[in-house]
Chains A and B, each alone.
Chain A
Amino acid sequence: MLRYIRLLGVQVRASTLVLMQYRADFLTEGLLEICWALTALVPLFIVFRERESVAGWTYGEALLVAGWFVLLQAILEGAINPSLASVVEHIRRGTLDFVLLKPADAQFLVSTARFEPWRATNALTAAVVFVQAFWLIGHPPSLAGVLASLLLLAASTLLLYSLWILTVSAAFYVVRVDNLTHLFSSIFDAARWPASFFRGVVSFLFTFVIPLALMTTYPALALLGRLSLTTLALALGGAALFALAARLAWLRSLGRYTSASS
């Protein structure tokens, strides 16, 4: 266990060194991130221009969901996607074999290959959105709400990570993988809206199959004090189960890779 913590340190250091090489990117990427976050908010702004509430959510409340979305996207783009891109690159170049040759868990090595901390600028944007949301709502969140939402943040990160592992596992089956990252981002995009905006099949899809609702709507509900303890427990349990499923899928794909490739 200690060994893996040390390895994580080494990986982060390597990642940071790479980033220092491309200093100019820091600024431009950061600005681009903020740009994206703002575009995310425009439709919301337009929707709520004319009406007070939609599907039971007021503007301020919907902004909370959007804020969580921005935050999670920052984590996704900063900590998860870069490593995904590097795995995809490995598979394309045929150098994944080197990862498999190392006496360390391949999933760990692959997940910690690269970080891009400039995406953290959107964590700040998220903070701004939260402040704005609560200003509109009129009162600050309760302590219990904040705690619950932080727990959910951890669960959401785990969930996102598991979804990503599932995507990467698919990369073993798919020869041209450039679109995988796009796929992930586009589906994730639906998490910007409160879950109750969606009805029927789509709602089911986004609650249980790809639990986007869990990732952004539930934390918002927690902050608003509207999340029941049972739902919280279920959400955390669900995230854990998902992580397990992802691990199994990864091991399966790896088995297939080594049995059916050259």
Chain B
Amino acid sequence: MISAAGLAKHFRVHKRPPGLRAAARSLFRRNYTTVKAVDGLDFEIGRGERVGFLGPNGAGKTTTLKLLAGLLHPSAGSLRVDGHLPQRRENAFLEKIMLVMGQKQQLLWDLPPAETFELNRAIYDVPRPRFRATMAELTELLELGDLPSRPTRQLSLGERMRCELAAALVHRPAILFLDEPTIGLDVSMQAAMRKFIKSYSEENGATVLLTSHYMDDVAALCPRVIVIDRGRLSYDGGLAELARRIRPEKRVVLHLARAVPSAALAPLGQLVRHDVAEAVLQVDQRALAATVARALASLPVVDLTIENAPLEEVMGELFARSRAECGAGPELSAP
């Protein structure tokens, strides 16, 4: 349904060096440099899939989403979304999609969200009965209550984002692009949004593309992730598989009956954390069974769990590796 081949996007940016003389010179002559925000992406996404785009800052995730939404013209390569060329911005295409950006709202600032809903209804030409049904459902699922009737500027960020989601879904888009939708929200609000997006996608068969820096978002919503690194595709597959590739070790969490010296734990594996009642060991996958057996035999273990390394850490390592590879020094990253 969404297919990209050799997708690329280059920006021409002018360098603004510091200093008085350089500033004055830039008045007359400018140095331009090309930033390759997206540099050859290939992927296929099927209908109803939920895919997460991961990558370090400036990797090109937002640019990719904007290319998919038709907001940017690709510099090279081909891109088709549900049979349309996004850059043409045909009405038929625009009626099928929606882009939600965290921290930026389409809600009219001085008016209650209800007015934005009404405006969207008119623009997307949604018949009134369907509109009423949709809004009723959205109000209930997002727990909006009377929020839509209060001026947007009086709402908190969490309330605004919920209304923003409702405004985005007035026309029940089949393809949803979410660019950091949970940024700045508190934990319970993030969980609520995740739950909502998942159920919306499942009930309507909507395709969801999500970028986020919160691993919980990706873990909860996206069975498939695409890692974009410096504009190129670095991984395309399941999240669990990715974690296993980067950090194949497992974590063994031991709850201990009494304090145990570190020396006793050291031979079992790499000690990640050691409190009075708890010890966390990082153990290679292959030595897992043996290590668990030894731990149970030699230590006063009350409870034992085996986990994967936290995603944040995995991702952190992935990005750190990529930064090391591309070398030190400040680079003009893709906006």
A interface residues (Cβ-Cβ under 8 A, vs B): 3, 6-7, 10-11, 14, 17-18, 21, 93-95, 97-98, 100-104, 109, 255, 258-262
Contact = CB atoms under 8 A, between A and B. Distances in A.
The 5 closest A-B pairs by CB, nearest first: A262-B335, A103-B94, A98-B106, A103-B91, A10-B122
Contacts of B124: 102-103
Contact of A97 (B37, B66, B95, B115): B66
Contact size range, B: 35 or more
Interface string B98-115: 110100111010110001
A93 B12 CA distance: 21
16 contacts: A3-B125, A7-B122, A7-B123, A10-B122, A10-B123, A18-B108, A95-B106, A98-B99, A101-B71, A101-B99, A102-B94, A102-B120, A104-B91, A259-B73, A261-B72, A262-B334
Nearest to A261: B72
Given A97-B99, A103-B94, A258 B123 contact: no
A251 B73 CA distance: 14
Most buried by B among A7, A94, A98, A260: A98
Interface of B: 11-12, 37, 62-63, 66, 69-73, 87, 89, 91-92, 94-95, 97-99, 101, 104-106, 108, 110-111, 115, 118-120, 122-125, 151, 334-335
Nearest to A105: B91
A258 B67 CA distance: 9
Contacts of B63: 262
Contacts of A103: 91-92, 94-95, 123-124
B11 A10 contact: no
Nearest to A97: B71
Nearest to A93: B104
Contacts of A17: 111, 115
A14 B62 contact: no
A101 B115 contact: no
Contacts of B70: 100-101, 258
Nearest to B96: A103
B335 A18 contact: no
Contacts of A101: 69-71, 94, 97-99
A222 to B, nearest CB: 39
A15 to B, nearest CB: 10
B79 to A, nearest CB: 13
Nearest to A106: B89
A6 B126 CA distance: 13
Contacts of A100: 70-71, 89
A17 B108 CA distance: 11
Contact of A255 (B73, B98, B104, B334): B73
A258 B86 CA distance: 12
Contacts of B104: 93-95, 97-98
Nearest to A18: B110
A124 B37 CA distance: 55
A104 to B, nearest CB: 5
Most buried by A among B62, B110, B334, B335: B110
Contacts of A6: 122
Nearest to A262: B335
A102 B123 contact: yes
Contacts of A97: 66, 69, 71, 99, 101, 104
Given A258-B87, A259-B73, A262-B335, 17 more contacts: A10-B122, A17-B115, A18-B108, A21-B111, A21-B151, A93-B104, A97-B66, A97-B104, A98-B99, A100-B89, A102-B123, A102-B124, A109-B123, A260-B11, A262-B37, A262-B62, A262-B66
Nearest to A102: B123
Contacts of B105: 95
Nearest to A10: B122
A3 B126 CA distance: 12
A10 B71 contact: no
A109 B89 CA distance: 15
A14 B108 contact: yes
A6 B127 CA distance: 13
Given A7-B123, A260-B12, A21 B110 contact: yes
A258 B73 contact: yes
